[in-house]
Structure 1
Amino acid sequence: MTLFRRSVDIVSTQDQDEGEVRAALEDDFHHFRVRAYHRANLIVEIEGQALRYPYSACPEATGQLQHLIGMPLSSIAHSVTRQTDAQHQCTHLLDLAGLAIATAARRTPRCRYDIRVPRRINGKTSPVLELDGEALLNWDVNGSIIENPEPFVGIDLRAGMARWALNNLPEELAQAALLLRRSTQISIGRVYNLDLQEHASSTGRCYSQQPVRAPSALRIKGSTWDFGDTPDALCKTDQEWLQQAARFL
């Protein structure tokens, strides 16, 4: 039985030295969009939309994406973390922006990731990532450790994986691996009734969880949805918006 699903759908259009990229992310806990314009290989405009989110402060984080203006296009999605402090961004909006920028840098017209993380049994699960409908990654995970297959055996999802992946894997595989890592980690939230929370925790790990605003970042009750039996519904409402990117040129 699938416990958690996430999809990321990206459309990129370019003409000579300028273009637009649009990206949508939807999972059990979130629904975000990012749109970016680039010229002469630099991000010149960017905006985010928060459509479904866990805390009342999350939409405010869309403005934090402005820190990416002036960033060079990079085929490494993780490069956004060198441009801005991830702890003062929405984690998932920033991840989505990185994926969008990398897609534009590679001049890839369209790509879609679909992820499923089965329910854990005795701490074990086998998350799967598909790229454009084809299975790309399929891990056996015990706790936070990947047990299969190579070259991921022994990698800890919680410690040093980003550096290892970027140093040891081809760019696009590293990108997929970090996306699957994020999904596998946050899927644990499905075990809990998050609506029992009053507000975000003051962990300092993201925009809403900064101690200065966590007490006022109230839990949006009912924001967790179940896509276990309806995977086709993920990003379905984003399709018309995504296709509008083609009208830029």
Structure 2
Amino acid sequence: MRPKQLNFPLNPDYGTGATIRRVSLRAQSHRVDAHLLDNFHEMRCSIVHDCSIVTAITGESVRIPTTACPAAVHQLQSLVGLPISTPIRDFYAGGIARHHCTHLLDLAVMAIGHAPRPSTEILYEAEVPDELELPVPMTIWRNGRLVCRWLVRQGAILEPLELRGRPLGTGFAAWASLVFEQDQLEAATILARTWLIAIGRRYRPSQAAGRPARDNPEMLGRCYAYSTGPVETAVMTGEKEAHLHRLQREA
């Protein structure tokens, strides 16, 4: 579920821009490299495998919102030894994601999912416009080709009609895993995650540098940085929002 409100200074330019997230996946023999970039985050993750199980995993937090985030990289080691055929839902069962950086875990899961595939390179770009009064069109592109376009209002899909009423927050994974096949599910998940972080566009987190992370009570328990222990000493990094330009897309 997306928080309803964050305790940051408001962004007076909200309503004029969009949240853009890019995810690249590069599969080679026995290795997959993944990279994530959006308005508020940049992260990398690489997995090594023997065509059966994950034998090694590394992660890097480049741009992150709190000082606790970099330590979440170590949580990825819990994935070493898992079969590369592990169903996606198993990586998130039982609230496991709350012990990870959500974005790093997503990257790792996607990388593992591409391990059994032939060598390939994929680039996703998702875009969620600032939402004010009217519904907004959310899109995701795969190597420049449109995969999904949803018209969304307050976290629920309005169009296409066959998805009307489907939520992007709580319950998304359950219904999406039944509706979409592998590649489309991957794209849909990235698009839903982009909607999740798009709330950040409403604020100026760069003006909250040094403030305790626990000043945002709605975030408590949602991820590693906001879990008991790390959140007690975590402060906001005050990273300035990155404004990404659209990549070239097919008409």
Q: What TM-score do you get using the length of structure 1 for normalisation?
A: 0.84
Shift of 1:108: 4.9
- From 232, 238, 245, the counterpart of 1:215: 232
- SS, match of residue 67 in structure 1: helix
CA RMSD of aligned residues (A): 1.9
Query: Quick one: distance in 2 between partners of 1:222 and 1:178?
Result: 25
- From 26, 35, 49, the counterpart of 1:11: 26
Q: Is the 8 A contact 1:28 1:225 kept in 2?
A: yes
Partner of 1:199: 212
Partner of 1:99: 110
Which amino acid is the alignment partner of residue 178 of structure 1? T
Query: Quick one: distance in 2 between partners of 1:34 and 1:83?
Result: 23
- SS, match of residue 208 in structure 1: helix
Which amino acid is the alignment partner of residue 24 of structure 2? D
Shift of 1:83: 9.4
Q: Is the 8 A contact 1:127 1:140 kept in 2?
A: yes
- SS, match of residue 87 in structure 1: helix
Paired residues in the alignment total 226
- SS, match of residue 190 in structure 2: helix
Q: How does 1:1-249 map to 2 (within 5 A)?
A: 1-14=16-29, 19-74=30-85, 76-82=87-93, 85-122=96-133, 124-197=135-208, 198-200=211-213, 201=216, 203-227=220-244, 230-232=245-247
Q: What TM-score do you get using the length of structure 2 for normalisation?
A: 0.84
Q: Is the 8 A contact 2:40 2:239 kept in 1?
A: no
Shift of 1:136: 0.5
Residues 1:83 and 1:70: Cα distance change in structure 2 (over 3 Å) = farther
Q: Is the 8 A contact 2:84 2:116 kept in 1?
A: yes
Which amino acid is the alignment partner of residue 149 of structure 1? P
Shift of 1:143: 0.2
Partner of 2:4: none
Gaps of 5+ in 1: 233-249
Query: Quick one: distance in 1 between partners of 2:86 and 2:53?
Result: 12
Residues 1:74 and 1:199: Cα distance change in structure 2 (over 3 Å) = farther
Gaps of 5+ in 2: 1-15
77-86 vs 54-63, greater mean Cα deviation? 77-86
The percent identity for this pair of structures is 30
Which amino acid is the alignment partner of residue 25 of structure 2? I
Query: Quick one: distance in 1 between partners of 2:95 and 2:167?
Result: 25
Residues 1:151 and 1:212: Cα distance change in structure 2 (over 3 Å) = same
Query: Quick one: distance in 1 between partners of 2:69 and 2:112?
Result: 21
Query: Quick one: distance in 1 between partners of 2:242 and 2:87?
Result: 31
- SS, match of residue 115 in structure 2: helix
Residues 1:66 and 1:189: Cα distance change in structure 2 (over 3 Å) = same
Query: Quick one: distance in 2 between partners of 1:121 and 1:61?
Result: 34
Which amino acid is the alignment partner of residue 137 of structure 1? C
